[in-house]
Structure 1
Amino acid sequence: MAQSGLKNPDAANRELSAAEAADPGNVRVKLEQARLEAGAKNIPAAVSAVDAALKLQPTNVRALMLKGDLSRGTEGLAKALGYFNQALQIDPGNFEALIERAATYVDLRREQEARADLKKVFAVVPDHPLGLYLEAVMRARTGDYAGAQGLMTRTKGALDKYPPAMLLQGRSPMRPTTWSRRRSTSATPWRPRRTRRSRGACMARRSCARAMRMGRSPP
Structure 2
Amino acid sequence: MNQFLRYLIAQAYNNAWANHRLLRACATLSQDEFALATRTSFFPSIKSTLNHNLTVDWFYIDAIERAARGDAPHPDYCAAFFEPEEPFATCAEVWAAQKLSDQRLIAYCRQLDQATLARDVGILREHGLMLDTPARLLAHLFQHQIHHRGQVHAMLAGTAVEPPQLDEFYSRGEAEDRAQDFAELGFTEADVWGV
Tell me the TM-score normalized by structure 2. 0.28
Q: Which has the higher contact order (CA 8 A, sep 6+)?
A: 2
The structure with more radius of gyration: 1
